[in-house]
Amino acid sequence: MALQTLQSSWVTFRKILSHFPEELSLAFVYGSGVYRQAGPSSDQKNAMLDFVFTVDDPVAWHSKNLKKNWSHYSFLKVLGPKIITSIQNNYGAGVYYNSLIMCNGRLIKYGVISTNVLIEDLLNWNNLYIAGRLQKPVKIISMNEDLTLRSALDRNLKSAVSAAFLMLPESFSEEDLFIEIAGLSYSGDFRMVVGEDKTKVLNIVKPNIAHFRELYGSILQENPQVVYKSQQGWLEIDKSPEGQFTQLMTLPKTLQQQINHIMDPPGKNRDVEETLFQVAHDPDCGDVVRLGLSAIVRPSSIRQSTKGIFTAGLKKSVIYSSLKLHKMWKGWLRKTS
Considering all CA atoms of the chain, what is the largest pairwise distance in Å, rounded to the nearest integer? Answer: 64
User: Residue 118: in which H helix or E strand, if any?
Assistant: helix 115-124
Give the C-alpha separation, 204 to 196, whole Å. 12
* Predicted pLDDT of residue 81: 97
Beta bridge partners of 108: 49, 101
Give the C-alpha separation, 82 to 334, whole Å. 46
* Predicted pLDDT of residue 8: 57
The total number of residues written for the chain in this structure = 337
* Predicted pLDDT of residue 285: 97
What's the one-letter identity of residue 44?
Q
Q: Where are the domains of the chain?
A: 9-336
Give the C-alpha separation, 153 to 81, whole Å. 28
Q: Per-residue pLDDT tens for 278-296?
A: 999 999 999 999 999 999 9
Give the C-alpha separation, 192 to 187, whole Å. 9
Burial class (CB in 10 A: 0-12, 13-18, 19+), 225: middle
How open is the CA angle 192-198-202, to the nearest 5 degrees?
115
* Predicted pLDDT of residue 284: 96
What's the one-letter identity of residue 197?
D
Q: With H, G, I as helix, E, B as strand and everything else as coil, classify residue 201.
A: helix
Residue 147: which region, alpha, beta or left (left: phi > 0; alpha: psi -120 to 50)? alpha
Give the C-alpha separation, 191 to 206, whole Å. 21
* Predicted pLDDT of residue 200: 82
Give the C-alpha separation, 53 to 189, whole Å. 23
* Predicted pLDDT of residue 194: 46
Sheet holding 49-55, edge to edge: 95-103, 106-114, 49-55, 26-30, 139-143
Q: Whole-model pTM?
A: 0.87
Give the C-alpha separation, 99 to 2, whole Å. 29
User: Which residues in the chain show pLDDT less than 50?
Assistant: 1-6, 193-196, 317-334, 336-337
